[in-house]
Structure formats: structure tokens, C-alpha cells
Amino acid sequence: MGTHWKIDGTYFETCNCDTGCPCVFLSAPPSGDCTALVGWHITDGHFDEINLSGLNAVLAVHSPGNMAEVPWQAALYIDSEGDAGQQEALTKIFSGQAGGHPSRLATHIGEFLGVKIADIVCSGTGKNRSLSIPGIADAEIEAISGQADGETTISGHPLAIAPGYPLVVAKSKRMHYRDHGFNWEITQKNGYYSPFTYSG
């Protein structure tokens, strides 16, 4: 019998593209590359009998070209709030080893820079989403106002972190990342967020 797992929660991402990042439509990033932070907060989840509810993961991604065509560099950060079993389960899921949609995302990674256990805080209220890894990453986005002050959304996009859910379009208040030789300082650029469901 194989491992059975499922996680549900909320995710957000922010990158260096202008708002409405074209990478989700398989187009090239306007600046020539895409640097992104992706954060997941699991509200309910398990990996066999291991409870994963309340834990977080973050992926830092650099794509030196069209994300659908050029291999990514990526670094994974796993929540230090989990015990050793939970951290191992999260690593298997978000590195793509456990199957499901994360394994499809992992096919884009050409250079995996490694996994670090870190203090991760992911939060979201109203139109705002944020994440923090002390000494490494800090990001916050806010949804842009659409018609009648409602959400602006994108659905059916071919390159999706959370397939099956429309993206809420946002703009970054800040995005800082410093690790693995990268030093990103970005504001007023793209953000997306939505629920997610993964299973394997």
C-alpha cells in the first residue's frame, strides 16, 4: 500500500513581474527572468497518520526566462514548528517526491538548492497575505480593487500553483529574500493568492 496524503489551505506568491504576471499564461517575464516567493499555509492535512494541520512551507524560485520553458532554481523551507516526522512529510510533498500536483511543479526545477528547516509565519486577513522567515524572507501582498471594489481574479490559467481555484490578483507591499546568493528587494509588483488542495 502506498502513502495516502491530502492537504488543504491557502497559498500566495509574489514575484518581480508587474501586476498580472504573464508567466501564468506561459508568456515570458517582461524583465527577462522571474524571481518568486511562494508560501503555503496548511489548514487541514495529513500524510498517512501524520497530522500536518497548521504548518507552513515556502519555495523561493528563480527562472532565468520563460517559466514554462527554462528550468528553475528553487529552494525549499519547511516549518520548524513541525516535529521530525512532520518535517519529513512536508519535504516529500513540496519537493514533489510524494506525487500529486507538487510533483508536476517539481518537473520545472532544474537546480534544487536544498531544504532548510526554518521559523515560518504565514498569515492572511481580508485582502492581505504575508510570510516571514527571519533573516531570509519577508513578503506582503494586498489584493487590488476590481469592479465595484470587488476582487480581480484569473481562472483557467495553464501554469497554476493551485489548479481548480481562481487567483486573486494582488500587488506586493514588499518582497525581500536573501539566501543561496540571491538578494531580492522588490515592491509594488505582482502577487496572487487562492485556496489550494493537493493529494497523493
pLDDT at position 140 is 98
pLDDT at position 174 is 97
The number of distinct structural domains making up the chain is: 1
* pLDDT tens digit at each of 200 positions of the chain: 578 999 999 999 999 999 999 999 999 999 999 999 999 999 999 999 999 999 999 999 999 999 999 999 999 999 999 999 999 999 999 999 999 999 999 999 999 999 999 999 999 999 999 999 999 999 999 999 999 999 999 999 999 999 999 999 999 999 999 999 999 999 999 999 999 999 99
pLDDT at position 127 is 97
Domain span at residue 102?
5-199
183 phi and psi angles, rounded to 5 deg: -145, 95
Secondary structure (H, E, C), the chain: CCCCEEEEEEEEEEECCCCCCHHHHCCCCCCCCEEEEEEEEEEEEEECCEECCCCEEEEEEEECCCCCCCCEEEEEEEECCCCHHHHHHHHHHHCCCCCCHHHHHHCCEEEEEEEEEECCEEEEECCEEEEEECCCEEEEEEECECHHHCECEECCCCCCCCCCCCEEEEEEEEEEEEECCEEEEECCCEEEEEEEEEEC
Contact 124, 41 (CB under 8 A): yes
pLDDT at position 1 is 55
Q: Which CATH number is 191's domain given? A: 2.40.400
Cα 78 off chain centre by? 12
pLDDT at position 2 is 75
- Put simply, whether the predicted model's pTM sits higher than 0.85 gets the answer yes
